[in-house]
Amino acid sequence: MNFSLSKNPVVFFLLKVLALYFIWYCVYDLWLHPQETMDLFVIDNTIAFSKWILESLGYTVFTGAERVIGVDGTGGLWIGDNCNGVALFALFSGFVIAYKGKVKYKLIYLIVGVLSIQLLNVFRVVALGILDTHSRAWTEFNHTYTFTIVIYAYIFMLWMIWVNRFSEKT
């Protein structure tokens, strides 16, 4: 039985994903994360848009120490590096980059995808801020389970749209 792993498209795709993950790990964990510039930029952006939406909905919002947003009367939400969406941007991007398609279309799709993931993350923070006005337990449950499922399902959906609709047009 003679088979070449590099000629198997599934294995080749997975090897590319692993290589991209390794590159991402090295760049992010060893260089970008220690500098915190990118993480804080994304967090500040998330807080600013979330604050604007919450205030537009009539809530009085506070942003105190770095990374904190909350509705008055609550303890607020602290947005850590694990919840800022950067790893989700990388996950989505890695799968799209590793899959076939023209670079031009990938770039457009990556920009739209990353921006939509960021927008979903802003809505997540808004929803958690509102939930926090009712019950800290609801906030914790939805942060841990509901929004984790929603965000990963969304990323999977984006990737499937790329695979089934856009990668073939290239």
Query: pLDDT digits over 30-82, tens only?
Result: 888 778 888 999 999 999 999 999 999 999 999 987 899 999 999 999 999 88
Integer distance in angstroms from the first to the last C-alpha of the chain? 34
Query: pLDDT digits over 114-157, tens only?
Result: 999 999 999 999 999 999 999 999 999 999 999 999 999 999 99
Contacts of 133 by beta carbon, 8 Å cutoff, 6+ apart:
59, 71, 73, 74
Say how far apart CA 78 and CA 102 lie, in whole Å: 39
Confidence of residue 95 (pLDDT cuts 50, 70, 90): very high
- DSSP 8-state symbol, 134: T
Least confident among 11-15, 93-97, 143-147: 11-15
Whether residue 2 has pLDDT greater than 90: no
